Chain A
Amino acid sequence: MDDEAIIGFMIEKTLTHADTAVHVTTTIAEAQQAVEEWNPHCILIDLNLGTPEDGIIFSRWVRTHKHSTEPLLVALTAYPASEEWMPNFDKYLRKPFTADKLQTVISELL
């Protein structure tokens, strides 16, 4: 989930070329729908979707929601990790990140 189109596109291409199925969303509503319909193994969440709280709110929703497979969460943010939100996430990827770095993080998790 990232509202910057080019970041979403870059993530999609990086991971699909590494044989990973990817669904890109730009809003919380789309992301919630995708999580319910798709039940992903991992969710990458941009923390700042207009307001800095959006990504954190979404991560809380994921953690409190029932899933058949509990998804792993990766925070995407330009800011340093914070005690406020880090406990909700399994990994943290600081922007800007390279395709290599993204692949490494996803390989470590999945």
Chain B
Amino acid sequence: MKAENKTPEKKPSVVIVDDQLDNIRVLGSILTSLNLDIRPFTDPQEGLASIFAAPPDLILLDILMPHMDGYEVCRRIKASKEVQDIPVIFLTAAFTRLEDMVRGFEVGAVDYITKPVDARIVTVRVTTHINLSLAKKTIAEENSFKNKLISLLAHDLRNPLGGVAGLLQLIRTEPEQWTREELFEAVEQMYLSIAGVQNLLENLMGWADLVRAGIMVSSEPVNLIEVIEEHIQALQVQAEQKGVSLEIRSSDNFEVTTDRHIIGTIVRNLTANAVKFAPPGEGEVVIILAHGRHSFTVTVQDNGIGMSEEEQADLFSHSARARRGTAGEKGSGFGLLVCLEMTRLLGGTIDVKSEQNAGSEFIVRIPV
């Protein structure tokens, strides 16, 4: 599976419902030039069924039709939560009375196109409403993702910080009750919790930079082994505690020209995942650096639980759910999104190979 430049955009879709086949033909020929996916229907019931089955981005609706008029079709569309936000443009005869046009707006139409249609008017109105519809959809998706993110952050910050605060309060109020060993254990627990919070915040800040498109990509000669060692320092402790070996393999001292912070963040996140899913006590995580003809690759391998094909397909999506690690470790599911966006910033790609119960391999390829 490869996650690289964005997958080709799906064509916006338009449903046309008009009982006159000639009208559909004329509209179809105009809209074909706009690169739209057009679904024509002469039967309103069939049109409605198609709208509910696969919601389009825009609906062009004739008013006067036998059995069910356009107002009724529109009312049914607007009564359904799933499709009520799809813009409806009424196709109306030139002699339509003002009160009928108002009635159309009252049942939820956003605009009118008068028949016989003019190609320029159809093009402008359809393009405008498609663009508005797509922009609205994008905003709704982003909003829903941000809500999910805020709720996830609140949860992922509250637990570790609440635990650290509770422990500190306990130590502060009754220090005499704590043995030296208990204190060491408490410090270790607090360190791991704070390291987790720090990792989450670093990802969040990285993500915010990417979303604001304000991140500056620098290009400087770096020793990649040193950069990676620096970024995975905190992970070494976690790996050691879990009984997971963590090793960097490279044929030379690996000098490359890239952005130190971005590549470090990508490798840190992939390594954190590898440690999370490696088997406790017998886990092996290897980071392999290799030079290609026009690129360099960083491969992060683990011998962990791997992923099913469905999990791999959903891996880089906003809706992906974070899985628990093999020692019950939690995650936000956010690190991989950051990895993908950061890899794109460097003009690179991420390949994933995985097999359930056999381990995973993430290959980051960066052009030089």
Which of B159, B173, B177, B185 contacts A7 (CB under 8 A)?
Answer: B159
Which of A37-45, A82-90, A95-103 touches B?
A95-103
A10-B158 contact given A5-B192, A96-B165, CB 8 Å threshold: no
Cα separation A95 to B306 with both chains bound (whole Å): 33
Q: Which of chain A's residues have a CB closer than 8 A to the CB of B38?
A: none
Q: In the complex where A5-B189, A6-B189, A6-B190 touch, is A14 in contact with B170 (Cβ < 8 A)?
A: yes
Q: Which residues from chain A contact B190 at a C-beta distance below 8 Å?
A: 6
In angstroms, Cα B189 to Cα A10, docked, is: 9
Decide: A96 near B162, CB < 8 A? Known: A9-B185, A9-B186, A13-B167. yes
Whether A32 is near chain B, meaning CB under 8 Å from some CB there, is: no
A78 to B151, CA, bound (A): 11
With A96-B158, A96-B161, A97-B162 in contact, is A10–B170 under 8 Å at CB? Answer: yes
A72-110 with Cβ < 8 A to chain B: 78, 95-100, 102
| Chain B residue with Cβ nearest A10 | B166
What is the distance, in angstroms, from B302's C-beta to the closest C-beta of chain A? 21
A18 and B72 CA atoms in complex are apart in Å by: 70
Chain A residues lying within 8 Å of B173, measured Cβ to Cβ, are 99
Does A66 sit within 8 A of B, measured CB to CB?
no
Partner of A4, one of B154, B160, B185, B186: B160
Identify B163's interface contact among A7, A17, A50, A100, CB under 8 A.
Answer: A7
CB pair A6 B170 closer than 8 Å: no
**Interface band, chain A:** 20 to 34
What does DSSP make chain B's interface, helix, strand, loop or mixed?
helix
Cβ–Cβ contact B158 & A6, under 8 A: no
Shortest A22–chain B CB gap in Å is 13
When chains A and B are docked, how far (Å) is the Cα of A100 from the Cα of B166?
9
Within 8 A of A (CB), among B173-224: 173-174, 177-178, 182, 185-186, 189-190, 192-193
* B158 and A78 contacting across the interface, CB-CB below 8 Å: yes
Question: Contact: A99 with B159, CB < 8 Å?
Answer: no
Q: Check B186 against A78 for contact (C-beta < 8 Å).
A: no
Say how far B118's CB is from chain A's closest CB, in angstroms.
55
By a CB distance below 8 angstroms, the chain A residues around B178 are 13
Partner of B182, one of A6, A13, A78, A102: A13
Least distance between A97 CB and chain B CB atoms (Å): 7
The one of B154, B160, B189, B330 in contact with A3, judged by C-beta atoms closer than 8 angstroms, is B330
B interface bracket (residues with beta carbon within 8 Å of A):
20 to 34
Interface flag for B164 (CB, 8 Å): yes
> B169 at interface (Cβ–Cβ under 8 A)?
yes
Which DSSP category, helix, strand, loop or mixed, fits chain A's interface? loop
B76 at the interface (CB under 8 A from A): no
Q: Are B324 and A98 interface neighbours, CB within 8 A?
A: no
Contact yes or no, A97 B166, CB < 8 A: yes
Interface residues of B in 315-339 (CB under 8 A from A): 324, 328, 330
Of all chain B residues, the one with the shortest Cβ separation from A13 is: B170
In the bound assembly, the distance between CA atoms of A92 and B106 in angstroms comes to 50
CB–CB B189/A78 < 8 A: no
A10 B163 Cβ-Cβ under 8 A: yes
Whether A7 contacts B192 by the Cβ 8 Å rule is: no
- Residue pair B182, A99 in contact (C-beta under 8 Å): no
Q: How far is the CB of B181 from chain A (nearest CB, A)?
A: 12
Shortest CB distance B33–A (Å): 49
Q: For residue B323, which residue of chain A has the nearest CB?
A: A50
Select one of B164, B169, B177, B324 contacting A6, CB under 8 A.
B164
Q: List, in ascending order, chain A residues with CB within 8 A of B170's CB.
A: 10, 13-14, 17, 99
Check B177–A9 contact: CB distance below 8 A: no
Q: Would you call B155 an interface residue if the criterion is a C-beta within 8 Å of the partner chain's C-beta atoms?
A: yes
Give the one of B154, B159, B166, B178 with max A CB within 10 A: B166
Contact partners of B155 in chain A: CB under 8 A: 48, 78
Q: Which residues on A are within 8 Å of B, measured CB to CB? A: 3-7, 9-10, 13-14, 17, 26-27, 48, 50, 78, 95-100, 102
| Given A9-B186, A17-B177, 9 other A-B residues pairs in contact with their CB atoms under 8 A | A3-B324, A9-B167, A10-B163, A14-B166, A50-B324, A78-B159, A96-B158, A96-B163, A98-B169
Question: What are 30 contact pairs spanning A and B, CB under 8 A?
Answer: A4-B159, A5-B189, A5-B192, A5-B193, A6-B160, A6-B163, A6-B189, A6-B192, A7-B159, A7-B163, A9-B163, A10-B166, A10-B170, A13-B170, A13-B182, A13-B186, A17-B174, A48-B155, A78-B154, A95-B159, A95-B162, A96-B159, A96-B161, A96-B162, A97-B162, A98-B166, A98-B169, A99-B169, A99-B170, A99-B173
